[in-house]
């Protein structure tokens, strides 16, 4: 039997006792390269803190219906109301035993037509090219446990302080091929 643990304080995933990378670590050289282009690293830290707070507000709202004063939460509520999205899994750590990586999905749920939908929540308008690989990794991990089909509808939901959102869907099957290439370059293979 496979044993999977996630230490939230360390943001560390373990599979059968071994530390395994998170999807952001797998994509690390792509994301770090993008982040290094930002001259003021305090901006990066503030963005991270803003994202953590917004994710917590979305988590609490999705589980309990409680509305906090987080400035990004109204945009998430607008997204849920306009799409009819119903969360089934929220801030859910999961892994792929085959590929030996893990991730914490923001939210997985269904749309009114019954399709599974995997939105990754972003509090920035920045759209680096690695975002679709991130949701592909999430889809691989979820589908390996039967929680959604591998071709689940994937997207980023960019929530804004003004209560609006934009949706950036990830539909290319090449996302999975590119991610597999990154996973195969890992020394564990």
Q: Average pLDDT for residues 159-183, to the nearest whole number?
A: 93
User: CA-CA distance, 109 to 86, in Å (whole number)?
Assistant: 5
Label residue 79 exposed, middle or buried (CB < 10 Å: 0-12, 13-18, 19+).
buried
| Strands 18-20, 165-170: pairing kind | unpaired
pLDDT for the residue 185? 66
Place 187 in a pLDDT band, splitting at 50, 70 and 90.
very low
Share of the chain above pLDDT 70, in %: 90
Interhelix angle 73-83/41-64, nearest 10 degrees: 50
Neighbours of 154 (CB within 10 A): 24
- Which string of DSSP letters, residue by residue, matches 88-123? EEEEEEEEETTTTEEEEEEEEEE-TTS-EEEEEEES
User: CA-CA distance, 138 to 103, in Å (whole number)?
Assistant: 7
Q: Could you say which DSSP state residue 147 is in?
A: S
pLDDT of residue 31 exceeding 70, the answer is no
pLDDT digits 0-9 by tens, 47-95:
879 989 999 999 999 999 999 999 999 999 999 999 999 999 999 999 9
pLDDT for the residue 2? 86
Residue 10's contacts (CB-CB under 8 Å, 6 or more residues apart) are none
pLDDT for the residue 42? 77
Question: Which is more confidently placed, 175 or 37?
Answer: 175
pLDDT for the residue 37? 60
State residue 24 phi and psi, 5-degree precision.
-70, -30
- Full-model pTM: 0.89
pLDDT for the residue 147? 93
Q: Which of 120, 69, 63, 53 is nearest to 87 (CA)?
A: 63
pLDDT digits 0-9 by tens, 119-148:
999 998 878 788 999 999 999 999 999 999
In which residue are the tokens 């996630």 written? 6
CA 168 vs. chain centroid, Å, equals: 13
pLDDT of residue 186 exceeding 90, the answer is no
pLDDT for the residue 122? 95
pLDDT, the chain, mean: 89
| Strands 18-20, 86-96: pairing kind | unpaired
pLDDT for the residue 32? 56
Neighbours of 104 (CB within 10 A): 18
């Amino acid at each position: 039997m496979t044993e999977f643990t996630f230490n939230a304080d360390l943001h560390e995933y373990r599979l059968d006792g071994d530390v395994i990378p998170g999807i952001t670590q797998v994509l690390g050289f792509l994301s770090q390269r993008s982040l290094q282009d930002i001259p003021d690293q305090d901006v990066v830290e503030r963005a991270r803190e803003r994202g953590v707070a917004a994710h917590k507000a979305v988590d609490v709202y999705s589980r309990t219906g409680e509305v906090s004063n987080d400035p990004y939460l109204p945009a998430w509520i607008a997204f849920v109301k306009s799409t009819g999205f119903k969360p089934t899994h929220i801030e859910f750590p999961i892994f792929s035993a085959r590929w030996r990586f893990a991730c914490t999905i923001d939210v997985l749920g269904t749309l009114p037509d019954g399709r599974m939908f995997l939105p990754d929540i972003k509090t920035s308008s920045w759209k680096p090219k690695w975002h679709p690989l991130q949701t592909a990794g999430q889809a691989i991990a979820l589908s390996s446990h039967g929680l959604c089909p591998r071709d689940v509808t994937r997207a980023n939901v960019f929530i804004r302080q003004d209560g609006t959102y934009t949706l950036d869907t990830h539909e290319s099957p090449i996302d999975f091929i590119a991610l597999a290439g990154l996973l195969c370059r890992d020394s564990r293979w």
